[in-house]
Structure 1
Amino acid sequence: MSPVIAVLGLGEAGGRFATDLVAAGATVRGYDPRVDAPPGVHQGKNAAEACTGAGVVLSVNSAADALAALEQGRPGCAPGTVWGELNTAAPAVKEAVLRAAGERVVVADVAIMAPVPPRGLATPMTASGPGARAFAAVLGPLGTPVEVLDGPVGLAATRKLLRSVFYKGLAAAAVEALAAAEAAGLADWLAGNIADELVKADAATLDRLVTGSRTHAVRRRHEMQAAAELLDGLGVPARVARASRDWLDDLAAG
């Protein structure tokens, strides 16, 4: 028998998951107040109706809407329904969802660990909390690689957000540097330089970055202050440059 899965939130990620779940043979019920359900997905009149009969619910909304989605969908859930909390949110939000769930649904804190559009249902995920294993047992055979973490709700979110600090911070640094390079007429040169450094990165790169920052914190602090002043002169907000300077200040003081 094909699993019945509800998807709440049919935007870029939720819509792709719903479409791929249908292709994988699941019966999919969906609801989004702003987006129509994709072909093959049974559209509910509201969240509770979409959840009716589902063994697993994927809540793919936003951190701000996570609790509201649970409150609206929970009345349609049978006892024991697995509530996959996929929203990118702080651990405290995931814990609030767990408390609000009560005994009716079993919550899995699920973190999406890569961009969804390129892979869809094959996007890797991690899951923690009481519903993690049941979530993986249903989604895994449908093509989703789910790493189950032995730990509470909030653990998967913590891993996701720690990773985000690096990757989104790296992206912000690239955006800021390239904006300044464009203003200085050096965009092509800097883009090539950054690309070369990324290609050369290896397992030892992280250690060099951290060790070098600690060893040369004072000198690098002055370097990043100068970089921030350069960006000021170019009319580019030096947010990452000044944050780097401040971290080097702390490392020098420590």
Structure 2
Amino acid sequence: MTARNDNMPVLGFIGLGEAAFHIARGLHGEGLRGIRAYDKFWNVPPQSDLVAQRAGEASVTLAPSLQALVEGCDIVVSAVSANLAVPLARESAAWLRPGQVYADLNSAGPQTKIEAAAIVAPTGAAFMDGAIMGTVPGLGHKVPTLVCGEGAQRFADVLRPFGMQLTVLEGAAGKASASKMLRSIFMKGVVALLLETVLAGHEYGLEDDLLDSIAETFAAGPFLEVANGLIARGVIHAERRAHEMDEVVATLRAAGVDDTMSLATRDKLLKIAAAGYKAHFKGVAPRDFHDIFTLGN
């Protein structure tokens, strides 16, 4: 446990929802003292009961207003919902001052973070774009988090000693959130693909066999090596595989299973084929998937 000293900047959360609660509780457990929070429901029953309970468990002092929180903290963390990121940055800007860090941990896209950063900039406070890359209830304050922007390094310097797993990315606000959004292409997309696969497989009594087969493919080597091969060969064989997906779609329709993801895969493969990768690489898969970025150069 790391002891807090008297010169430690005061940390305050806008919103004491699930993420802020678990992070604050974890930081307190590591020895960080004086954590504050403002939640708009702090005095609005019945939500106020949960806010008070969380504040008590995390040893967080509740502020009576957003102004009181912002004026009383050195690091202000916005941890609400994405649609409130910009409005709260705009409201907080009235009380922000030079020397503060305004850290936006909301699950919002890069354009939202860039807009919020532009609002904060004239106040003299340093904006930080933070992207939480894991599950907060399970990992708490140790959840892997990407941070970037003017205030990222100071945020990391203050909170890493208390166990936060922070990776500082070079660049302005937007980069960390872009990483989170783009990662979701795979992480959310693979869930939809798996569901379509097992639902169709169930019609043929094959759901477990299919997952075993998929597992064998991804266990063929380190993930980065497997991914490299899938991407490199995928751009070469896109047209043939698109035609194979027509048969997949026909199979799903015969089984009465929704084919949304398979149709999208076919259409994406057709676009990849039309882009000209096969001709560019003369029909031979590149050794390194990074080579696909040379198309058109």
TM-score normalised to structure 1 length: 0.90
Mark the structure with the bigger radius of gyration. 2
Inter-partner Cα distance in structure 1 for 2:232 and 2:196: 24
Do structure 1's residue 188 and structure 2's residue 199 form an aligned pair?
no
Contact (CA 8 Å) 1:48, 1:77: kept in 2 or not? no
**2:15 partner letter:** G
Number of residues paired by the alignment? 254
**What is residue 119 of structure 2 aligned with on the other side?**
100
Inter-partner Cα distance in structure 1 for 2:170 and 2:116: 19
Q: Cα deviation per residue 1:143-198 (whole Å; 9 max; x = unaligned)?
A: 11222222111111222222222222222211221222234332222233333333
**What is residue 19 of structure 1 aligned with on the other side?**
25
Inter-partner Cα distance in structure 2 for 1:164 and 1:127: 17
- The verdict on how the C-alpha distance between 1:26 and 1:240 changes in structure 2, with shifts beyond 3 A counting, is farther
Inter-partner Cα distance in structure 1 for 2:247 and 2:39: 49
The Cα of 1:135 is off from its aligned counterpart by 1.1
Inter-partner Cα distance in structure 2 for 1:240 and 1:12: 32
**1:32 partner letter:** D
Identity of counterpart residues, as a percentage?
Answer: 33
Query: Secondary structure of the residue that 2:173 maps to in structure 1?
Result: coil
Q: 1:80 aligns with which of 99, 105, 120?
A: 99
Give unmatched runs, 5+ long, in structure 2: 1-5, 42-49, 276-297
Do structure 1's residue 244 and structure 2's residue 265 form an aligned pair?
yes
Contact (CA 8 Å) 1:79, 1:103: kept in 2 or not? no
- The verdict on how the C-alpha distance between 1:75 and 1:197 changes in structure 2, with shifts beyond 3 A counting, is same
Q: What CA RMSD, in Å, does the superposition of the two structures yield over aligned residues?
A: 2.1
Q: After TM superposition, list the pairs within 5 Å mapping 1:166-181 onto structure 2.
A: 166-181=186-201
Inter-partner Cα distance in structure 2 for 1:201 and 1:169: 22
The Cα of 1:14 is off from its aligned counterpart by 1.8
Inter-partner Cα distance in structure 1 for 2:271 and 2:103: 39
Query: Secondary structure of the residue that 1:83 maps to in structure 2?
Result: strand
The Cα of 1:53 is off from its aligned counterpart by 1.4
Inter-partner Cα distance in structure 2 for 1:235 and 1:27: 58
Q: 1:47 aligns with which of 63, 66, 69?
A: 66
**What is residue 286 of structure 2 aligned with on the other side?**
none
Contact (CA 8 Å) 1:50, 1:76: kept in 2 or not? no
Contact (CA 8 Å) 2:121, 2:127: kept in 1 or not? no
Q: 2:228 aligns with which of 197, 207, 211?
A: 207
Q: Cα deviation per residue 1:4-47 (whole Å; 9 max; x = unaligned)?
A: 21112333222211211222223211233355151211122333
**What is residue 162 of structure 1 aligned with on the other side?**
182
Query: Secondary structure of the residue that 2:102 maps to in structure 1?
Result: strand
- The verdict on how the C-alpha distance between 1:138 and 1:248 changes in structure 2, with shifts beyond 3 A counting, is same
Inter-partner Cα distance in structure 2 for 1:152 and 1:71: 19
Inter-partner Cα distance in structure 1 for 2:25 and 2:95: 22
TM-score normalised to structure 2 length: 0.78
**2:23 partner letter:** F
